[in-house]
Amino acid sequence: MIQHILTWPDPELKKKSAPVVVINDKIRQLVMDMTETMYDAPGIGLAAPQLGALQRVVIIDVSGKEEPPELIVAINPIIIHAEGESYEEEGCLSVIKYAANVRRHASVVVKALNLDGEEQTHRAEGLLAVAFQHEIDHLDGILFVDHLSPLKREIFKRKQRRMTEAS
């Protein structure tokens, strides 16, 4: 089922998510809800805490409209290697009408479990590498706007405040 996505400054988004201990029906349902919600939004990634579920689960699909969907489900993901630098524009389904460039690693190697509980190694670069770093940040209560310089963060906050006052 499509779920409501929490948005900044919801305090739930700042919480740390717990590792998944067993991949049971509850986790499978969570992944299904996340998938429906992400494609509906639409977005290229979603982390469980964005739906208020404080579990270390992320999904990513950077294949775009033209390609067949390529959904990655990463449970308890850990970045085991990172290198290079990238500075690309990011947005987030939890941050309305705002995008900014964020410093990230250009490539990462991520270890995670899939829905069958099998350990997988994802070697990612470009957009996929950024997506992994962005989504794994969510599991630690970090949003992309937390990476901005103090000045840019202040501008972001003022913009959001103006938007909420206007609506």
What does the binding site for Ni ion look like in residue numbers (CB under 5 A)? 92
Other beta carbons within 10 Å of 16: 11
Structure tokens at 86: 């990238």
Structure tokens at 121: 């190694």
Please state, in angstroms and rounded to a whole number, the distance separating the CA atoms of residues 32 and 106: 29
Q: How far is the CB of 128 from Ni ion (least distance, A)?
A: 15
SS (H, E, C) 17-63: CECCCCCCHHHHHHHHHHHHHHHHCCCCEEEHHHHCCCECEEEECCC
Pairing of strands 95-104, 57-60: unpaired
Q: Select 60 or 112, whichever has its Cβ closest to Ni ion.
A: 60
Which one of 66, 85, 135, 165 is the catalytic residue? 135
Question: Which residue number has the CB closest to Ni ion?
Answer: 92
Q: How far is the CB of 22 from Ni ion (least distance, A)?
A: 26
Q: Select 36 or 119, whichever has its Cβ closest to Ni ion.
A: 36
Q: Select 7 or 63, whichever has its Cβ closest to Ni ion.
A: 7
Local structure of 76: helix, strand or coil: strand
Q: Select 57 or 92, whichever has its Cβ closest to Ni ion.
A: 92
- Determine the straight-line distance between the first and last CA of the chain, rounded to whole angstroms: 27
Q: How far is the CB of 82 from Ni ion (least distance, A)?
A: 18
Q: How far is the CB of 60 from Ni ion (least distance, A)?
A: 11
Q: How many CA atoms lie within 13 A of 66 on its CB side?
A: 0
Q: Residue 12 catalytic?
A: no
Residues annotated as part of the active site:
135
